[in-house]
Amino acid sequence: MDNFNRPTRKQIRMPEFDYNSNGAYFLTFCTKDRKPLLSSVSVGTTIGRPPDIILTEYGHITEEAIKNIENVYPSVHVDNFVIMPNHVHLLLFLYCDDGRAMLVPTVARVVQQLKSVITKHIGYSIWQTRFYDHVIRTERDYRDIYTYIDNNPAHWAEDEYY
């Protein structure tokens, strides 16, 4: 197939938006072919008990890499995350107090570096090449996404990535 006959992918990023500007971002990235390589979700037998996420070896590597983002990029704060069987949700804040935007990485750079570190530890890539991002614009949007991340394991069977 030549380059002229390739299907065009839907552009999901906001045109003209500066993805290294201060702000909050909701990110989702998936494993290749959505294989459940990162964790399993165990639904508790007690009513009202939240489900447990049991991380695999790859899930533990992913968790450590996520927890290290702030050490690699001091201008990035991981506010919330969940490692599901075949995808990861992150709620990130990018900020630069001294006004020097060059210190703030782009959202794409953070995700690329995160996937790269995990790939290096595992020895091969387990990731799809792209990721989903959503720019958080309001306090309500932030609260809804924070809650969505927290509740994602409880709704795993209905999840679009299930």
Percent of the chain with pLDDT over 90: 64
List all residues 6 or more positions away from 46 whose beta carbon is below 8 Å from its beta carbon. none
Q: How far apart are the first and last CA of the chain?
A: 31
The structure's pTM equals 0.82
pLDDT digits (tens, 9 = 90+) for 44-83: 655 666 788 999 999 999 999 999 999 999 889 999 999 9
Query: Residue 15: which pLDDT band, with cuts at 50, 70 and 90?
Result: low
Token reading at 73: 């990029």
DSSP E strands, the chain? 23-30, 39-42, 52-55, 76-83, 87-94, 132-136
pLDDT digits (tens, 9 = 90+) for 94-110: 987 655 555 678 899 99
